[in-house]
Amino acid sequence: MKIGITCYPTYGGSGIVATELGKELADRGHEIHFISYALPMRLNQVMANIHFHEVEVPAYPLFDHPPYTLVLATKMAEVAVSQSLDLLHCHYAIPHSVSAFLAKSMIAPRKLPVVTTLHGTDITLVGSDRSYLPITRFSIDQSDGVTAVSHYLKQATLNEIGSRSEIEVIYNFVNCDKYKPSENKELKHHFAPAGEKILIHISNFRPVKRTTDVVDIFGRVQQKVPSVLLMVGDGPERSNAEWCAQNNGLDRKIFFLGKQEFIEDLIGISDLLLLPSDTESFGLVALEAMACEVPVVASNVGGLPEVITDGIEGFLVEPRNTAAMADQAIIILADDAKRLEMGKRAREKAHAFFCSTRIIARYEEFYRKVINQR
């Protein structure tokens, strides 16, 4: 198949999933065309069967803001015709599915089936600003196929949007050959020279990720268990998290590493992942940690209970209860046998339910279904 993929190219779960999906599909022999305003972050090497089409947004004096949705629609239509695309896969309803609707209208009567994958923020945005409701519902209903990354998100979409579309749940995935325990003793010694436990948090440092709570949890943990914390990522809350670390005398024990391409190396040397978010539609980073045999302490919100079984691969705690999260983290870190057993079960679950070999086949099947319906 020839598949166009449109996503946000920035450091976030939806862009990561879209990029990894394209790479996995290319490995299976499909021809993939990424259409976006910048090269996706994880598209960091030349690969056979993968092409990138940049959406250039011109500075137009008439508009206060660049008309990205319109330029994207034009590029989608252009690529669909010139490359004879079989299908266009949009990650996020707003604005990508709106642009896709315009694109397939522009090239009619030529058919261009559109699949929309909902990742979360496109739905929660409607909850915070109802002015987006009509266009979001329209873009979803005009898609030829709709998927959501968790049952939680599917239900949230039906509740918030009232969409008439059938929504198929296809979970996020992880490459189990890439994400695995690390034997990099040199890297581990670099961060924990005295054999401290290594905790890790990875996010885009938005307020919903509660990065200052991560620092608070770590502060409580390191009082009982010698440990260090790796803070991976960047975003608007990074300065607050750094201030919190300095204000509590933790700056020598916390490493703010910024955005990293090869996070599997850092997860692989870690002992525990902290994810105290206010909400998560799925929790991709939790899955990546599980594949690396790293237990997770996370908020009991959104789609996380579909990924983590409380008490088996980690612990789920009510959000913003940093004391309880710290207590659960200490339980894991203070007992190596328990930590290793949880890690083993975590990888077993990732391998059994969320490996890319299983999930990519689901997408291929869904694509064929949508194309045949057309």
Whether 259 is covered by a domain: the verdict is: yes
Is position 269 within any domain?
yes
Would the CA dihedral through 342, 345, 347, 350 be positive or negative?
A: negative
Q: Do 300 and 314 share a domain, yes or no? A: yes
Residue with more model confidence, 247 or 159: 247
- 111, pLDDT greater than 80: yes
Question: pLDDT value at position 59?
Answer: 74
Q: What separation in angstroms does the CA of 276 have from each of 9, 208, 240, 286?
A: 25, 9, 16, 11
Do 217 and 147 fall within a single domain? no
- The answer to whether position 238 is within a domain reads yes
Mean pLDDT computed over 303-330: 98
- Classify residue 122: in a domain, yes or no: yes
Is residue 337 situated within a structural domain?
A: yes
pLDDT classification of 217: cutoffs 50, 70, 90 = very high
Tell me how far apart the alpha carbons of residues 109 and 81 are, in angstroms, rounded to a whole number: 12
CA atoms within 13 A on the CB side of 349: 24
Whole-number Å distance between alpha carbons of 40 and 11: 9
Looking at every residue in the chain, the average pLDDT score rounds to 93
Pair 207, 342 in one domain:
yes
pLDDT in tens, 336-372: 999 999 999 999 999 999 999 999 999 999 999 999 9
The fraction of the chain above a pLDDT of 70, given in percent, is 97
Backbone angles phi, psi at 76, to 5 degrees: -60, -45
**Residue 9's pLDDT is what?**
87
Are both 20 and 112 inside the same structural domain? yes
Q: What's the confidence (pLDDT) of residue 43? A: 81
Query: For position 374, what pLDDT does the model report?
Result: 59
Same-domain pairing of 220 and 341: yes
Q: Which two tokens stand for residue 298?
A: 């996370």
In sequence order, what E strands does 178-313 have? 197-202, 227-232, 254-258, 272-275, 296-299
User: DSSP per residue over 305-338, as a string?
Assistant: HHH--BTTTEEEE-TT-HHHHHHHHHHHHT-HHH
Question: CATH code at 132?
Answer: 3.40.50.2000
Over 80: is that where the pLDDT of 10 sits? no
The answer on 96 and 216 residing in a single domain is no
pLDDT at 2: 97
Burial group, residue 312, by CB count within 10 angstroms (0-12, 13-18, 19+):
middle
Is position 180 within any domain?
Answer: no
> Is 341 found in the same domain as 222?
yes
pLDDT above 90: percentage of residues in the chain:
80
| pLDDT for position 50 | 96
Q: Is residue 124 domain-shared with residue 243, that is, in the same domain?
A: no
DSSP string, 206-233: -GGG-HHHHHHHHHHHHTTS-EEEEEE-
Q: At what angle do helices 133-141 and 98-106 cross, to 10 degrees?
A: 50
Q: Is there a single domain that holds both residue 200 and residue 163?
A: no
Residues 191 and 118 in one domain: no
Looking at the 3D structure of the chain, how many domains does it have? 2
Average the pLDDT over 80-106 and give the result: 95
Is residue 11 assigned to a domain?
yes
Q: Provide the pLDDT for residue 243.
A: 97
Higher local confidence (pLDDT), 185 or 324: 324
On whether residue 178 sits in a domain, the answer given is no
What pLDDT is stored for residue 261 in this prediction?
A: 83
CA-to-CA separations, 263 to 200, 232, 241, in angstroms, rounded = 10, 8, 20
The model's pLDDT over 46-88, given as tens digits with 9 standing for 90+, comes to 788 999 999 998 777 766 677 889 999 999 999 999 999 999 9
Q: Identify the CA nearest to 67 among candidates 156, 169, 344, 75.
A: 75
Q: pLDDT digit string (tens) for 125-159?
A: 665 577 888 888 999 999 999 999 999 999 999 98
Q: Quick one: average pLDDT of 217-224?
A: 97
State pLDDT tens for residues 157-205. 998 888 777 999 999 999 999 999 988 999 999 999 999 999 999 999 9
Structure confidence at residue 128 (pLDDT): 59
**CB under 8 Å to 67, separation ≥6 — which residues?**
57, 60
Q: Are residues 204 and 338 in the same domain?
A: yes
pLDDT for res 71? 94
The boundaries of the domain holding residue 130 are 2-173+355-373
Angle at CA of residue 20, ends 186 and 31, nearest 5°? 135
- Cβ burial of 153 (10 Å; 0-12, 13-18, 19+) is buried
C-alpha to C-alpha distance for 97 and 103, rounded to whole angstroms? 10
- 15/161 same-domain check: yes
What per-residue confidence (pLDDT) applies to 370? Answer: 96
Q: So what's the pLDDT on residue 126?
A: 65
